[in-house]
Each structure stands twice: as C-alpha cells, then as structure tokens.
C-alpha cells in the first residue's frame, strides 16, 4: 500500500510541470473547445486526439485526407478543400483557410489548435523525428458518497499518461504510442492501457496494436462522430474515403486490437483501387447473465470502481476480421466492406447498435458519384 501511494504521489508531482508549460493559455483554449464541441455537435468522440494534435499539429501542406478527416468536426469533403487551399495558396494562414471555407467558430478553433501551415510550427512533418510525453493528473476534491462508504476503493485521482515517438522522413513515416489512464475511484494506475505501432511508406500503411477503420458510407465501419451543424445544411453522408488510423483515446470502446493493412494503387490517372484488410482480438466489457451465460448489455462507460462495475470488465471475448475494396474511376466510386464477428458468449442485447447473437458475417455494398456540387450515394 505504501509503495502504491508513493508511486501515485510521484505521478501527480510529475504531472504538475505541465501546468506551467501550458500557462500560455493553450490548456484553457482546449477546455473551451471541448465545451464548444459539446454544444455544436451531437457526440464527443476522441477528445484525446485533439489534445494530442495540440502538441503535434498536422502540417497541412503535407497532410493526407485521412489526417484531416479524422479530426472531430471535419468531413472528407471539407478535408479535401482544406488540403486544396493549403497547397495551392501556400504559404497561407489558418485564418485565411477558415475564412475562405466559411468555417464555424468551433471548426476554426479546432483547425487553429490541431494544424499548422508553417513548418516551424509543426512537429508532425515528414522531415524530422521526435516524441512527446504527457502526464496529466486531476484530484477530485468534492466529497463523493462512494469514497465515504467504501464502494470506491481507489484514490480520487484522474491520471493519464501518454508517450509518443515518431521517425518521419520523405521516404517513410514510423510512429508508436502508449497510453495509460485511471479514472477516480479505480484501484489500478493502469486500469486502461492502449498502444500502437504505425508504419507508412508511399501508398502502404500498416498498424499493429489498437486502431480504428473508416470504410464505405459508415454502415459498418467508421469513426463514430455525429456532425449535425456547420457550413453544410445537411451532414456529409458521402463518406467514402477508406482509412486506417491509430487509436489514441482513453475510452475503451470502438476500437480493434490486432493488425491492419491499407494499400492504395493508382492504375492510371483516373482509376484508383484501395484495399484494406484487418484482424482483431480484444476483450469487451459486458453484463453477463449468470443463468444463460450470455451478454445482456455491452458496458461502455469505462468506469471500474465498484464490485458491480469491475465484474463487467473484459468479460466478453471478441474476434473480428474483414476487409474493404474500393474502386474509384473518375468521379464514380464503388466499394464493398465485409466484417466477420465472433464472440465468446452469445450477445442478447436490446440495443439497436449492438450485435445480436454469437457470430456472423456482415457486408455492405456502396456507391457514390460526384457531379460538380452534387453528391449521390447509395
């Protein structure tokens, strides 16, 4: 117990220099941004990604479409426009790009925090290497009943540790990251952990560890983020860009754990083929019925403080494999996505978003065509 307390104190003290380091107001800007996103968009996805990009901003003139589209609040179409302006009118300021595209105040702030148009501003470039370490600690000062009655055996401290390294040059991009977190009331300092190694060269990308995928129109695989407001009257349903991305969030949901590969091929000027394959094995948290030995509900809060919450942790094994193939000819896109899921126990959840049964193959066929300012998808 004494060793654990000492380690906890050291981590808290180690996180304190970060407060002085962000005394320029960046931490306050991110907090304001989180609040703005909550009001403007329906769902909050990977806020840790915004925090990560605030320390490692994307260099727009060298950015890929998936890099920008992965940022909360930005569709593929908007990402294309941002990259177009950043390259055609380089050097151009973030303000000029935001004004040209009539971005909302929230989107403008996200772009300012997460991207850069000058090489000196960005550590996320293909011309250097480096890394970052982030230790964050928050102590819960208000009295919570769970601590007084002993239901929460852990310390009232919120801890996050993130380590990231990268080696970037004109020929390839190699990066790796580890994230560990603990919510207030949890006993383990590494209650949740995640990591990845990513390698990208030319049109080939491989990720080992934790990752998520974007494929097709989002019927099977997509980073879960609702876009409801912005410069478009309706959401961008024409989400056909395929991509694989490292998972950097401290939320233990909506990711795969294993290996994935993405290969882009340009056969000639207007004909492209994009192929993705993946395999995953991960334990999900769920409520298990003792009589039927079936999962009655997936547990998504990520909190493991009480005996009841801890009993749900990693109780449902999931194996998955699948792939996507997408053909793009001029402005016409055709694609097919397949996903095979198998669980260690049957899933009998009443939630419409949960898989029902013990296993099966899911598939999705999609198409889209772009005609000037009109996009048609099916």
The tens digit of pLDDT for each residue in 21-53 reads 333 445 555 555 655 555 555 444 456 677 778
Return the ∠ at Cα 213 (arms to 243 and 176), rounded to 5°.
85
- Quote the CA–CA distance of 136 and 16 in Å, as a whole number: 8
Q: Which residue has the tokens 């049109």?
A: 203
Assess contact for 199 and 173: CB atoms under 8 A: yes
Query: Does the pLDDT at position 295 exceed 50?
Result: yes
Identify the CA nearest to 81 among candidates 97, 96, 66. 97
CA 96 from chain centre, in angstroms, equals: 27
* Range with the poorest average pLDDT among 240-254, 282-296, 323-337, 341-355: 240-254
The tens digit of pLDDT for each residue in 191-225 reads 889 999 999 988 899 999 999 887 766 667 765 43
Query: Does the pLDDT at position 325 exceed 90?
Result: yes
Supply the mean pLDDT for the chain.
Answer: 77
Residues counted in the chain: 378
Query: Does the pLDDT at position 306 exceed 60?
Result: yes
The tens digit of pLDDT for each residue in 159-191 reads 888 888 888 677 888 999 999 988 888 888 888
pTM of the model: 0.74
Pure H helices in 194-339: 307-310
CB atoms within 10 A of CB 350: 8
Identify the CA nearest to 367 among candidates 326, 324, 338. 326
Mean pLDDT, residues 78-86 = 90
Residue 169 corresponds to which tokens in the numbers above? 């040059």
pLDDT band at 353 (very low <50, low <70, confident <90, very high): low
Residue 353 corresponds to which tokens in the numbers above? 């978003």
Q: What is the DSSP letter of 285?
A: P
Identify the CA nearest to 119 among candidates 63, 181, 73. 63
Assess contact for 101 and 82: CB atoms under 8 A: yes
CA 378 from chain centre, in angstroms, equals: 26
- Quote the CA–CA distance of 347 and 294 in Å, as a whole number: 6
Q: Which residue did the predictor score with more confidence, 131 or 116?
A: 116
CB-facing half-sphere around the CA of 310: CA atoms within 13 A:
13
Determine the pLDDT at residue 371. 72
Residue 101's contacts (CB-CB under 8 Å, 6 or more residues apart) are 78, 81, 82, 85, 231
């Amino acid at each position: 117990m004494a060793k654990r307390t000492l380690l906890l104190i050291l981590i808290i003290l180690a996180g304190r220099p970060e407060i002085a380091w962000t005394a320029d107001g960046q931490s306050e800007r991110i907090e304001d941004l989180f609040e703005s996103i909550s009001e403007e968009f329906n769902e909050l996805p990977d806020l840790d990604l915004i925090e990560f990009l605030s320390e490692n901003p994307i260099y727009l003139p060298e950015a890929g479409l998936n890099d920008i589209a992965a940022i909360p609040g930005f569709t593929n179409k908007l990402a294309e426009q941002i990259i177009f302006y950043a390259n055609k009118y380089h050097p151009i300021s973030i303000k000029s790009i935001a004004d040209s595209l009539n971005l909302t105040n929230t989107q403008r702030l996200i772009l300012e925090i997460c991207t850069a148009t000058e090489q000196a501003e960005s550590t996320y470039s293909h011309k250097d290497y480096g890394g970052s370490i982030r230790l964050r600690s928050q102590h819960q000062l208000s009295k919570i009943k769970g601590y007084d009655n002993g239901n929460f055996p852990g310390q009232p401290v919120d801890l996050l540790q993130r380590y990231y390294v990268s080696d970037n040059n004109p020929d390839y991009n190699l990066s790796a990251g580890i994230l560990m977190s603990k919510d207030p009331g949890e006993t383990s300092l590494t209650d949740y952990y995640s990591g990845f190694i990513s390698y990208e060269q030319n049109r080939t990308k491989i990720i080992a560890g934790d990752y998520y995928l974007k494929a097709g129109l989002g019927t099977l695989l997509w980073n879960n983020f609702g876009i409801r407001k912005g410069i478009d009257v309706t959401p961008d349903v024409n989400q056909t860009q395929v991509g694989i991305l490292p998972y950097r969030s401290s939320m233990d949901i909506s990711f795969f754990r294993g290996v994935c590969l993405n290969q882009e091929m340009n056969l000639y000027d207007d004909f492209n083929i994009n192929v993705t394959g993946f395999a995953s094995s991960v334990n999900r948290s769920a409520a298990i019925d003792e009589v039927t030995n079936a999962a009655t509900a997936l547990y998504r809060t990520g909190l493991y403080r009480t005996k009841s919450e801890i009993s749900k942790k990693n109780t449902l094994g999931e194996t998955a494999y699948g792939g996507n193939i997408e053909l793009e000819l001029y402005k016409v896109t055709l694609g097919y996505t397949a996903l095979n899921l198998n669980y260690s126990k049957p899933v009998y959840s009443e939630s419409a978003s949960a898989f029902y049964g013990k296993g099966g193959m899911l598939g999705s066929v999609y198409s889209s065509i772009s005609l000037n300012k009109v996009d048609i998808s099916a």
